[in-house]
Structure 1
Protein backbone atom coordinates (compact mmCIF):
# COMPACT_ATOMS: atom_id res chain seq x y z
CA UNK A 1 0.00 0.00 0.00
CA UNK A 2 2.88 2.37 0.78
CA UNK A 3 4.28 1.73 -2.70
CA UNK A 4 0.95 2.64 -4.26
CA UNK A 5 0.78 5.84 -2.18
CA UNK A 6 4.28 6.81 -3.28
CA UNK A 7 3.39 6.03 -6.89
CA UNK A 8 0.27 8.21 -6.75
CA UNK A 9 2.25 11.04 -5.15
CA UNK A 10 4.94 10.82 -7.84
CA UNK A 11 2.31 10.79 -10.60
CA UNK A 12 0.52 13.82 -9.14
CA UNK A 13 3.78 15.78 -8.90
CA UNK A 14 4.79 14.79 -12.44
CA UNK A 15 1.44 15.92 -13.90
CA UNK A 16 1.65 19.21 -11.99
CA UNK A 17 5.17 19.81 -13.30
CA UNK A 18 4.07 19.00 -16.87
CA UNK A 19 0.98 21.23 -16.72
CA UNK A 20 2.11 24.18 -14.63
CA UNK A 21 5.90 24.38 -15.16
CA UNK A 22 6.35 25.52 -11.55
CA UNK A 23 9.22 27.73 -10.48
CA UNK A 24 9.32 26.04 -7.05
CA UNK A 25 9.97 22.46 -5.98
CA UNK A 26 6.65 20.63 -5.80
CA UNK A 27 6.00 18.71 -2.58
CA UNK A 28 2.87 17.54 -0.79
CA UNK A 29 2.79 20.80 1.16
CA UNK A 30 2.93 22.97 -1.98
CA UNK A 31 -0.18 25.15 -2.29
CA UNK A 32 -1.74 25.52 -5.71
CA UNK A 33 -2.75 29.17 -5.53
CA UNK A 34 -0.10 30.66 -3.28
CA UNK A 35 3.01 28.66 -4.27
CA UNK A 36 2.25 27.57 -7.83
CA UNK A 37 0.25 30.70 -8.75
CA UNK A 38 -2.33 28.39 -10.36
CA UNK A 39 -5.81 29.68 -11.03
CA UNK A 40 -8.95 27.54 -10.73
CA UNK A 41 -8.89 26.51 -14.38
CA UNK A 42 -5.27 25.35 -14.17
CA UNK A 43 -6.05 23.27 -11.08
CA UNK A 44 -8.99 21.67 -12.90
CA UNK A 45 -6.74 20.89 -15.87
CA UNK A 46 -4.32 19.12 -13.54
CA UNK A 47 -7.18 17.17 -11.97
CA UNK A 48 -8.62 16.26 -15.39
CA UNK A 49 -5.24 15.01 -16.60
CA UNK A 50 -4.83 12.95 -13.44
CA UNK A 51 -8.31 11.46 -13.88
CA UNK A 52 -7.32 10.35 -17.39
CA UNK A 53 -3.89 9.06 -16.38
CA UNK A 54 -5.11 7.18 -13.29
CA UNK A 55 -8.48 6.11 -14.69
CA UNK A 56 -10.48 7.63 -11.86
CA UNK A 57 -13.02 10.38 -11.33
CA UNK A 58 -12.95 13.19 -8.82
CA UNK A 59 -16.27 14.90 -8.08
CA UNK A 60 -16.21 18.66 -8.59
CA UNK A 61 -17.44 19.21 -5.04
CA UNK A 62 -14.36 17.41 -3.70
CA UNK A 63 -12.01 19.02 -6.23
CA UNK A 64 -13.12 22.44 -4.95
CA UNK A 65 -11.63 21.57 -1.54
CA UNK A 66 -8.12 20.94 -2.87
CA UNK A 67 -5.62 23.53 -1.62
CA UNK A 68 -2.33 21.63 -1.56
CA UNK A 69 -0.67 18.90 -3.56
CA UNK A 70 -1.07 16.65 -0.52
CA UNK A 71 -4.82 17.31 -0.50
CA UNK A 72 -5.00 16.11 -4.09
CA UNK A 73 -2.89 13.02 -3.36
CA UNK A 74 -5.14 12.07 -0.43
CA UNK A 75 -8.25 12.67 -2.52
CA UNK A 76 -7.01 10.34 -5.26
CA UNK A 77 -5.98 7.70 -2.71
CA UNK A 78 -9.50 7.80 -1.23
CA UNK A 79 -11.18 7.03 -4.56
CA UNK A 80 -12.62 3.53 -5.01
CA UNK A 81 -10.15 1.07 -6.48
CA UNK A 82 -7.09 2.76 -5.00
Structure 2
Protein backbone atom coordinates (compact mmCIF):
# COMPACT_ATOMS: atom_id res chain seq x y z
CA UNK A 1 0.00 0.00 0.00
CA UNK A 2 2.87 2.36 0.76
CA UNK A 3 4.05 2.07 -2.84
CA UNK A 4 0.69 3.30 -4.14
CA UNK A 5 0.71 6.26 -1.78
CA UNK A 6 4.23 7.17 -2.94
CA UNK A 7 3.06 7.05 -6.56
CA UNK A 8 0.06 9.18 -5.60
CA UNK A 9 2.30 11.76 -3.92
CA UNK A 10 4.47 11.98 -7.05
CA UNK A 11 1.44 12.24 -9.36
CA UNK A 12 -0.07 14.99 -7.18
CA UNK A 13 3.27 16.82 -7.18
CA UNK A 14 3.46 16.71 -10.99
CA UNK A 15 -0.17 17.83 -11.35
CA UNK A 16 0.35 20.67 -8.86
CA UNK A 17 3.43 21.87 -10.77
CA UNK A 18 1.72 21.64 -14.16
CA UNK A 19 -1.45 23.41 -13.05
CA UNK A 20 0.19 25.94 -10.74
CA UNK A 21 -1.62 24.70 -7.64
CA UNK A 22 -0.69 23.68 -4.13
CA UNK A 23 -0.37 19.91 -3.70
CA UNK A 24 -2.62 20.17 -0.63
CA UNK A 25 -5.51 21.27 -2.85
CA UNK A 26 -5.39 18.01 -4.79
CA UNK A 27 -6.61 14.59 -3.64
CA UNK A 28 -6.88 11.14 -5.21
CA UNK A 29 -10.45 11.71 -6.30
CA UNK A 30 -9.79 15.17 -7.77
CA UNK A 31 -11.05 15.28 -11.35
CA UNK A 32 -8.71 16.98 -13.81
CA UNK A 33 -11.25 19.04 -15.71
CA UNK A 34 -14.13 19.51 -13.26
CA UNK A 35 -12.18 19.97 -10.01
CA UNK A 36 -8.74 21.18 -11.10
CA UNK A 37 -9.77 23.30 -14.09
CA UNK A 38 -7.40 21.61 -16.54
CA UNK A 39 -7.99 22.19 -20.24
CA UNK A 40 -6.91 19.97 -23.13
CA UNK A 41 -3.51 21.65 -23.42
CA UNK A 42 -2.91 21.21 -19.67
CA UNK A 43 -3.73 17.52 -20.02
CA UNK A 44 -1.23 17.06 -22.87
CA UNK A 45 1.48 18.78 -20.80
CA UNK A 46 0.54 16.69 -17.81
CA UNK A 47 0.83 13.40 -19.72
CA UNK A 48 4.29 14.42 -21.00
CA UNK A 49 5.43 15.32 -17.48
CA UNK A 50 4.09 12.03 -16.08
CA UNK A 51 5.90 10.10 -18.83
CA UNK A 52 9.15 11.84 -17.90
CA UNK A 53 8.72 11.49 -14.14
CA UNK A 54 7.76 7.80 -14.18
CA UNK A 55 9.69 6.81 -17.32
CA UNK A 56 6.60 5.30 -18.94
CA UNK A 57 4.80 5.61 -22.26
CA UNK A 58 1.17 6.71 -22.10
CA UNK A 59 -0.85 6.33 -25.30
CA UNK A 60 -3.51 8.85 -26.30
CA UNK A 61 -6.24 6.29 -25.63
CA UNK A 62 -4.84 5.56 -22.16
CA UNK A 63 -4.49 9.27 -21.41
CA UNK A 64 -8.06 9.95 -22.51
CA UNK A 65 -9.31 7.47 -19.89
CA UNK A 66 -7.76 9.47 -17.04
CA UNK A 67 -10.49 11.37 -15.20
CA UNK A 68 -9.04 11.55 -11.68
CA UNK A 69 -5.67 11.46 -9.93
CA UNK A 70 -6.46 7.90 -8.80
CA UNK A 71 -6.94 6.81 -12.44
CA UNK A 72 -3.36 7.84 -13.15
CA UNK A 73 -2.07 6.22 -9.94
CA UNK A 74 -3.77 2.92 -10.82
CA UNK A 75 -2.36 3.03 -14.34
CA UNK A 76 1.20 3.66 -13.16
CA UNK A 77 0.86 1.07 -10.38
CA UNK A 78 -0.08 -1.63 -12.87
CA UNK A 79 2.87 -0.73 -15.11
CA UNK A 80 5.16 -0.79 -12.11
CA UNK A 81 4.16 -4.37 -11.30
CA UNK A 82 5.24 -5.70 -14.69
Asked whether the two chains share a fold, i.e. TM above 0.5, the reply is: yes
Structure with the higher helix share, 1 or 2: 2
Q: TM-score, normalised by structure 2?
A: 0.86
How many residue pairs end up in the alignment?
81
1:50 paired residue number: 50
Show structure 1 runs of 5+ residues with no match: none
Q: Tell me, yes or no, if the aligned pair for 1:58 and 1:76 is still in contact at 8 Å.
A: no
Say what the alpha-carbon RMSD is for the aligned residues. Answer: 1.8
Q: Runs ≥4 in structure 1, deviation > 3 angstroms?
A: none
Show structure 2 runs of 5+ residues with no match: none
1:63 paired residue number: 63
